[in-house]
Amino acid sequence: MKELMTAVTENLIFVAEFLGIVAFMFALAYAYEKLTMKKSGDKGRIFSTRKVSMIGMFSAIAVILMLLEIPLFFAPGFYKLDFSEIPVLIGAFAFGPMAGVTIEFCKILLELLLKGTTTAFVGELANFIIGCSFVLPASIIYLHRKTKKTALIGSVTGTICMTIFGTAFNAIYLLPKFAQLYGMPLDAIVQMGTVVNPAIDSVTTLVIFAVAPLNIIKGASVSAVTVLIYKKLSPILKEGHKKSEVSKATKIS
């Protein structure tokens, strides 16, 4: 914990930017979900007691999966594949975009508490915001019509959004910020990519040949697993949610 607080102090401005982006993502998810609830006449709360407990469970599963990183032969060592977005996407499909963003944030927070940061928080920001760029479009599309077809359409759309946004955000912000915080030239980071792929000779080629394929693989694999297992889990999640609502209605009456 002491090391984590030291890292926060040393990178205070970036941490403030990080928290600003987190707040924006929460506001975006909240506003859209509230608007959808208003249109459908739903006057309930976004966060019920059961939903909070499920968010906690999915966050715990996500952080475990996040710790199981897989190196990729076509990318430098600081880019690794994990499947932590599976429980995030399942949670977002089951309980809405706000739940998805919350699970994504809790996952990052838990990982920081367990491991601290080795990237001056740049890696954690990347994981959060790029994960949100996948989960938010997917869950928003699914929110309007909850069928297997729209789950698939949402997942494909999320993968496309994540690939485009993740590639651009790495090139424009994350890689330059990482170089700045560590006091190293961007060329040195690019060189790490050149070692694994001679075609990588600039920031642009680094994100095209490393970041884009990583996001495509991650989005496709997470989507495939989620679409395959979500409908089997959905009745269990919905049944628990219905019982919670019935219990609440009984208490009110």
pLDDT at 4: 61
Q: How far is CA 166 from CA 55, 120, 211, in A?
A: 25, 19, 7
Amino acid identity of residue 4, one-letter, is: L
Q: In what helix (H) or strand (E) does residue 71 lie, and over which residues does it extend?
A: strand 70-71
Average pLDDT value for residue range 115-133: 83
| Residues making up the chain, counted from first to last | 253
pLDDT digits (tens, 9 = 90+) for 177-199: 888 877 788 899 999 999 999 99
Beta bridge partners of 70: 81
Rg over alpha carbons for the chain, rounded to the nearest Å, is: 19
State the pTM of this model: 0.85
As given in the structure block, the two tokens for residue 95 are: 């309980």
Cα-based distances in Å from 13 to 105, 138, 207: 19, 31, 25
Question: pLDDT digit string (tens) for 35-87?
Answer: 887 887 777 777 778 888 899 999 999 999 998 989 999 998 888 999 999 99
Tell me the C-alpha distance between 247 and 98, whole Å.
23
pLDDT band at 11 (very low <50, low <70, confident <90, very high): low
CA angle at residue 150 from 130 to 168, to 5 degrees? 20
Tokens representing residue 114 in the block: 């367990």
